[in-house]
A and B are shown apart, each in its own frame.
Chain A
Amino acid sequence: MSLSDEVSARGSGTAASSGREGSAPRQRPSSWWFLGSELKQLFRRRRTQALLLALAAIPVMIAVVVRVSTAVPPGRGPAFLDRITQNGLFVGVTALIVAVPLFLPLTIGVVAGDTIAGEAGHGTLRYLLAAPAGRVRLLLVKYVGAVAFCVAAPLAVALAGAGIGAALFPVGPVTLLSGDVVEPGEALSRMLLIAAYQTVSLLGLSAIGLFLSTLTDVPVGAMAATIVLSVASQVLDQLPQLEWLHPWLFSHYWFGFADLLRQPIGWESFSSNALLQAGYIAVFGALAYGRFVSKDVLS
């Protein structure tokens, strides 16, 4: 929304954006400028920062609780919880596992649902479109902004987890699911791989959120609908009667990142996940395009 008056109202806008609304049509701002200001706007927002902080608090909470309590018997609670006392790096992995079903979709829902509906809700959408930016380009820039958040969110969990784990517990060679042991350096790179897996996992949900966001002028509605869909998809994924549907649910491979903790690494779930998410991006991207391009923007 640096494209909008909000930034200029805060006094942090560039000359280009603060001068844009009133002035006569000027040359099209370059796409990179457009994208850069969108990203700047997204990550400068208090809300985005609060979401990332909340995500980073998950591993901190887990680590502190494990530190002050007695040993956990193996096989209880989320996977790897019992390993944390032996190796701090597992804090990040455990936190990522805990964050997958609800916390990550929740934050993505907030960001993706806000993309278009947020501008409409603030009454700034028509200014954006009045500027010669183009609806398709606006849609693309908004989606890339949501993708950037998909990258940042799992990364926040993983890095906060690795940091607090290293601070509170010993760090050493990491035991993989297969029983093989790898050095901390490789373990860290595998954790980043898991974060990348989750980024990919959330791309489909972001596309759904973007589409829902074009449907309404009330951002809260689009956010809630996106989050509800992510929960509904996971519930459907648990019903054995709907087994034929499972490979088509965007949440189906969300827990498949366990394959990255095996030796040798199993890439099948990564690639099937990427393919599935690409399908969701194509379908809901096309839907969002159809809706947004033919929409009467009144606010």
Chain B
Amino acid sequence: MTPTWLRWMPAVAVPAVIAAGVLAGSVPASARDPLPDKTPAQVLAMIAQHSTKSLSGTVEQTSELGLPDVPQVGPTSGPAANSIAELLTGPHNARVYVDGPAKVRVQIMDRMAERDAVRQGNEVWLYNSKDNSATHMTLPSNASGKEDRGSKTPGSVATPEEVAARMLEKVDASTDVAVRDDVEVAGRAAYNLVLTPRSQGTLVESVAVAVDGENGLPLSVEVRARGQQEPAFRTAFSSLKLEAPDASVFNFTPPPGATVKELALPSSGYAKRDLGYGKGAAGSGKDEQGKLEQGRKAPAAAGRAPSVTGTGWETVVGFPARAGSPAAGSPSIDTLLNDPLLRQATVAVPGGRAISTSLLNVLLTDDGRMFVGSVPLERLQAAAAAR
């Protein structure tokens, strides 16, 4: 007879083996050859020059912005899967297929549901499986290449590529740019480009972009907020294949029984700007800068243009009462404010109501103006009082 303790050995050994396996798996793969040293400028150039035309991969996005989480309980998909704010809470997974600039498909994988954006040539389809609805758009034929990056995935999880491009436009004297130790994203060695605001008056602590060591493709973007352990916003490839996806992926015809809506785009300029609204937590990127420039060019021309105070990371943008583009199909500020999740998130503060997130504060004054900035709330209140 074997002694009793010997019979319990497997029960001890198996968890030990599993624990050892998990630990071994979490340790970064053994020292691979370090990437050759590069300056920040060289890494930036790598991004600018990268010529990755086709890829398929999975993107993981997590947000810890301090917005209330959408509960995902039971066999139904979340109650507010159509909400823009829903994309900014909790984790999201998306599959991305790209074959050249004119063939793109993004699939946001919700619980028991899926939202799709498919572009083939100038045809763009949006599909939501939850209510079986499809939206069709025809892009103007002159839309091409880089300009389309903004418009091809409206309201979807931004790919690392897009967010990085917008982030890097902010690089100037206000920001310390450095290349830190190499990181590994989706199993690929990558340069770690870290942007740190020189100013103390912003909520952003740092922005890190992982740049593929071989081809310069941005693999992940991570935004950290001051005084928060978890990244406030992170989008990263969790798997990546640099091959052209199967061509059938880009074929989309609305399924039978779906409600199909035709969406007319007024003009390419408007389309680019307006569709940028729902695009990501990093709302202080290119889109805002577009407005910012517009505001400077036409200072209070009709009393409706947004006003700008502060510079660099401390920029505060103020929107006059009932602002917001009247263009068809664009989510105006009113619709944003009526978003049930955002309405829940507002709190009463002196001078109005505020939406506080770890990266961005929004102040809605009692007289209908709106102030937005990556700055503490007091600065928004000061900007509001200054008018």
Contacts and interface: CB of A to CB of B under 8 A. Distances in A.
Interface of A: 74-75, 77-79, 82-83, 86, 97-98, 100-101, 172-173, 175, 177-181, 238, 240, 255, 258-259, 262-264, 266, 268, 279, 282-283, 285-287, 289-290, 293-294
B350 interface: no
Contacts of B129: 175, 177-179
B69 A255 contact: no
A294 B4 contact: yes
B75 A177 contact: no
Interface in B13-35: 13-15, 18
B337 interface: no
A120 B54 CA distance: 62
A286 B77 CA distance: 37
B130 A78 contact: no
A283 B114 contact: no
A289 B9 CA distance: 10
Contact of B112 (A79, A181, A279): A79
Residue with the greatest number of chain B CB neighbours at <10 A, chosen from A98, A258, A262: A258
Interface stretch (B41-49, B219-227, B249-257): B249-257
Contacts of B14: 282-283, 285-286
Contacts of B71: 238
Interface residues of B, number: 42
Nearest to A96: B75
B257 A290 contact: no
A279 B19 CA distance: 10
B8 A294 contact: yes
B18 A279 contact: yes
A294 B112 contact: no
B379 interface: no
A180 B11 contact: no
Given A79-B77, A266-B109, A289-B11, 6 more contacts: A79-B76, A101-B74, A283-B14, A287-B11, A289-B10, A290-B11
Interface in B229-271: 246, 249, 252-258
A242 to B, nearest CB: 13
Contact of A286 (B13, B75, B255): B13
A152 to B, nearest CB: 22
Given A101-B74, A179-B258, A290 B249 contact: no
Contacts of B255: 175, 179-181
B317 interface: no
A263 B246 CA distance: 11
B18 A282 contact: yes
A173 B257 CA distance: 11
Contacts of B130: 74-75
B75 A178 contact: no
Nearest to A248: B22
18 contacts: A74-B130, A77-B76, A82-B132, A83-B132, A175-B258, A177-B112, A178-B116, A179-B114, A179-B127, A179-B134, A179-B258, A180-B255, A255-B75, A282-B14, A283-B18, A286-B13, A289-B7, A289-B10
Contacts of A286: 10-11, 13-14
Nearest to B126: A179
B376 to A, nearest CB: 26
B132 A175 contact: yes
Contact of A175 (B95, B113, B257): B257
A290 B15 CA distance: 13
Interface string B128-159: 01111010000000000000000000000000
Given A173-B256, A290-B7, A290-B11, A178 B73 contact: no
Q: Which of A179, A180, A262 has the most CB of B within 10 A?
A: A179
A294 B116 contact: no
B116 A179 contact: yes
A255 B110 CA distance: 11
A175 B58 CA distance: 23
A76 to B, nearest CB: 8
Given A177-B129, A279-B18, A86 B257 contact: yes
Contacts of B134: 179
Given A179-B116, A179-B258, A289-B11, A101 B131 contact: no
A75 B125 CA distance: 21
